Amino acid sequence: MKRDQEPLGRQEPPPPPGEADGAEPEPPVWIFGYGSLVWRPGFEFTSRKVGFIRGYSRRFWQGDTFHRGSAKAPGRVVTLLEDCGACTWGVAYEVCGEQIAASLQYLNVREAVLGGYDSKLVKFHPQDKDAASAKAALYQALPSAVEAEQHFIHTTELICQETTSGFVTTCFSAPAT
């Protein structure tokens, strides 16, 4: 080691971006995941907490041809429906500093552009009773996408009811009376 160098253990880390010029650091952003974001967030985060949001119920009511399925047979992905008596459990991810812009840009493509979702802020309640609640961003299917999917589901159910065969029997629709 050269004389003018200090041992690595004694060096001060550089200040975070924004603090060097005296500016306040950017506050963290929380992102709530209730579906694939729980097990595959796809972005860097500082911490995560298990918890819930109130006023929403989780449903596989979003048709999807990018992440799952095809144009002829769209797959189902989860979304949230407003439901005043419900609560939905998931994971909130804390993103800080440079993670904020990178994660929001990534999620905008993954959830909004490719997935048909829109973002909104909700109150997140951590499972840990000692932890404070926080505002968190979440991605929810656009109402038009859910309405279109409900029409698709209803039409598919009618077709299945008319022509379905199962292990025990074949199901035919009853004749009109």
* Per-residue DSSP letter, 146: H
Annotated active-site residue in 111, 147, 157, 162: 111
Distances (CA, A) of 27 to 43, 52, 66, 69, 83: 18, 21, 33, 38, 30
* Per-residue DSSP letter, 28: P
Known active-site residue 82 = no
Q: Do 154 and 120 touch, CB atoms closer than 8 A?
A: no
- Residues designated as active site: 111
